[in-house]
Structure 1
Amino acid sequence: MKSYDLYIIGPVTIDYDEYMGETKTLLAGPGLFSAYAALASGAQIGLLAQTAPEQSYIHQMFYVQDIHPLAAPVTTTRVIYPTESRNERYLTMTGQIKVITPADIPEVQADVYQLISYINGQLDFELFPCLAARGKVACDMQGYVRYVGEDERIYTADWPDKVKWFPYITYLKVDSDEAKTLTGFDDRKKAARQLHEWGAKEVLLTHSTEVMVYDGEKYHVCPFRPKDVSKGRSGRGDTTIGAYITERQRAGIDQALLYTAALVSLKQETFGPFKGTREDVLTCIRERYPEFVAPKA
């Protein structure tokens, strides 16, 4: 049986990024952004990737050691920015990805299993107890509070079953808007505390200005310090969880959070997934976070 530091389960898509009259086409998907962030940390990665047969060429574009393809319909998303702000956007999706169930998971062993998707319904909820019996489970809430409307536009709504499944999650990732949708709280600290009380062990909450972790005892906070955010907004949250859960396996919360904030700051400066190195991240920490103690190389 093959063993990994991180095994990612989720879709790969073709994205059309529409900003100020310009459209860029890129290989994307939550699993892609997360995988590249984890690889920069030196983790051994496995990936169960949903791709259409005609998209098989994209496997060659990954640096992931092992990819287990799962055939699915062609899926594309459009990320549309109606204003100059990269923090204001809406998404549409065409093509539905088949639901991944426990039966689709290959015989592998991992320290962390990451469930990451675009919309509710892409991943069977029974994956939670299945994977929690094997190792730690990391989960991004974007794939549980997003739904596709009749106009193919993605909208956000509460996840009614959340309390049943949260106790299986070690690392729960959520942004400030998703946190409010799930808890009703505008206050990020109150929202993080509620998510933890529902069962998640470590709540990773992002905002445009910072990333925070609540572990039931303390709020750990670190700012994002990108030089430019005009290019790399898409995939910021997916990059955040990929960086954090891999660095967290070798360091405490504060060190993992610092590493994550620096990596995501760099990612926001370029299109597509983060393709830098661990040394690039450590250099960023030394230059932009002088008040913090950098993680080990």
Structure 2
Amino acid sequence: MTLQNDVNIMMIGHFAKDRLVIDGHGEYASGGAVYYGSVALRRLGVSVAVVTRLHLDDLPLLDELKQEGVQVFTTSAPATSGIENIYNSADMERRICKLMNFAGPFQLEEIPALSARIYLVAPIIAGEVDLAILKSLAQRGPVAIDVQGFVRAREDGHLVFRQWSEMEEGLSLVTYLKLDRAEAELLTGQTDLQSAARQLADYGPREIVITQSSGVTVFANGDLYEAPFTSRSLKGRTGRGDTCFATYLGKRLTTSPGEACRYASAVTTLKQEKPGPWRGTPEDIEILLTSR
């Protein structure tokens, strides 16, 4: 297998055509971790490739990524994945998620022969990426995963959280693990984040990124780092975790875990104030960090 142009980060996951409903008013929007994460990374100057599946009719949706300088590798699917996210504006922290469509599982041969410094596996729901793909990527370089794409499952049209039956073997292949507070409790039974992170680190991940409404917590090589989200509004709440993890990894290419944690919290703070991906500049982030 010949390696093509190297990139900093290769992202693997479904591009989504989501429906966002706030107080009964709904509209369609692009979504998925590969969408929110890749745009934010490009704005920080990180080179990115996205590997995804979607219906051929929706290929034009990927032009937005290409215009940002993202390399896109696409496989046609029977449908484009999509989730309906239902919010009440009085509490944008809580949402009901319903699956509308699913683009099907990735096959090993759909992953391009591209070398990356980090392979970020960011599925929307369980069933997109299997253990064989994780094993293959782990042989190529450090793997990062968002555990949501392994524990969020389809059940009667709704999305529910279930245990990851292959977690022990799966996490042994992972260097960077991202999850939220609820997922940490689901997988470990621990309500204390530090205890949960220690338990998860025993399976193999060296760095664990946990998001919650108040901010991000990073456990790296036994050390703990925390940084707040100080958003003035939550109009852009969807894509919070995707943005935070991708920018953390992007900064880890050049800085320490603590500095990457601070930086990711600042990007995420600004992202939450506007719907869609974060499209700011590094200068915007420096201004926010200086003001803290």
TM-score w.r.t. the length of structure 1 is: 0.93
Alpha-carbon distance in 2 for matches of 1:53, 1:242: 26
Residue-by-residue CA offset, 1:136-156 (whole Å, 9 max, x unaligned): 111001101100111x11001
How many pairs were matched up?
Answer: 286
Unaligned runs of 5+ in 1: 290-297
Instruction: Name 2:276's counterpart in structure 1.
Output: 272
Instruction: Name 2:107's counterpart in structure 1.
Output: 101
Structure 1 stretches (4+) deviating beyond 6 angstroms? none
- Decide which of 233, 239, 252 is 2:237's aligned counterpart: 233
- Decide which of 253, 264, 271 is 1:260's aligned counterpart: 264
Instruction: Name 2:6's counterpart in structure 1.
Output: 3
Alpha-carbon distance in 2 for matches of 1:76, 1:253: 33
- Decide which of 109, 117, 120 is 1:114's aligned counterpart: 120
2:265 is paired with a residue whose SS is helix
Q: Per-residue deviation at 1:201?
A: 1.1
Q: Per-residue deviation at 1:240?
A: 0.8
In structure 1, give the amino acid aligned to 2:213: S
Instruction: Name 1:295's counterpart in structure 2.
Output: none
Unaligned runs of 5+ in 2: none
Q: Does 1:89 align with 2:100?
A: no
Instruction: Name 2:81's counterpart in structure 1.
Output: 75
Instruction: Name 2:27's counterpart in structure 1.
Output: 24
- Decide which of 124, 133, 136 is 2:130's aligned counterpart: 124
Q: Does the 8 A contact of 1:40 with 1:276 survive in 2?
A: yes
Q: Does the 8 A contact of 2:80 with 2:101 survive in 1?
A: yes
Instruction: Name 2:289's counterpart in structure 1.
Output: 285
- Decide which of 142, 151, 166 is 1:145's aligned counterpart: 151
In structure 1, give the amino acid aligned to 2:171: F
- Decide which of 220, 237, 252 is 1:248's aligned counterpart: 252
Q: Per-residue deviation at 1:59?
A: 1.6
TM-score w.r.t. the length of structure 2 is: 0.95
**CA-based RMSD:** 1.2
Q: Does the 8 A contact of 1:17 with 1:78 survive in 2?
A: yes
1:89 is paired with a residue whose SS is strand
Q: Does the 8 A contact of 2:236 with 2:272 survive in 1?
A: yes
Alpha-carbon distance in 2 for matches of 1:127, 1:244: 23
1:122 is paired with a residue whose SS is coil
Q: Does the 8 A contact of 1:14 with 1:25 survive in 2?
A: yes
Q: Does the 8 A contact of 1:102 with 1:127 survive in 2?
A: yes
Alpha-carbon distance in 1 for matches of 2:242, 2:41: 10
Alpha-carbon distance in 2 for matches of 1:165, 1:148: 20
Alpha-carbon distance in 2 for matches of 1:27, 1:186: 33
Alpha-carbon distance in 2 for matches of 1:15, 1:272: 11
